[in-house]
């Protein structure tokens, strides 16, 4: 099973983490399944950018980006050439290293 390494993020994953996910799982689903509460305001429908991640390693191993994801990413905070919406980035057989950006476009989020 491929491993996903999440670099430290002050709010969602302070110590960083390495998790495993079956092939065909989105990065967002994998993080949520392992208790990493990445934002996903549109419930993984590819309708916002709150689950934006930067892929540091393994970018080309993820499923191809479609036009809807490309269009949405233009609005993401901290966009890079290896940015993906984690709800649309599907894991294959290779390990991946990702960074959750410090900010998202969702400035008014609820605190529990």
pTM of the complete model: 0.91
CA quadruple 62, 70, 82, 28: dihedral sign: negative
The answer to the question of residue 24 being in a domain is yes
Return per-residue pLDDT of the chain as tens, 112 residues: 999 999 999 999 999 999 999 999 999 999 999 999 999 999 999 999 999 999 999 999 999 999 999 999 999 989 999 999 999 999 999 999 999 998 776 654 444 4
In a domain, 42, yes or no: yes
CATH number at residue 78: 3.10.20.30
pLDDT at 106: 62
105 in any annotated domain: no
- Is 71 a member of any domain? yes
pLDDT of residue 110: 44
């Amino acid at each position: 099973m491929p491993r996903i390494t999440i670099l430290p993020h002050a709010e969602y994953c302070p110590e960083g983490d390495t998790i495993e996910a079956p092939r065909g799982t989105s990065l967002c689903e994998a993080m949520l399944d392992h208790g990493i509460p990445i934002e996903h305001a549109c419930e993984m429908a590819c309708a916002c950018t709150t689950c934006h991640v930067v892929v540091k390693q393994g970018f080309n191993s993820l499923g191809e980006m479609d036009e809807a994801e490309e269009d949405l990413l233009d609005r993401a905070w901290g966009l890079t050439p290896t940015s993906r919406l984690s709800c649309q980035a599907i894991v294959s057989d290779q390990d991946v290293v990702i960074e959750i950006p410090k900010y998202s476009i969702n400035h008014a989020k609820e605190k529990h």
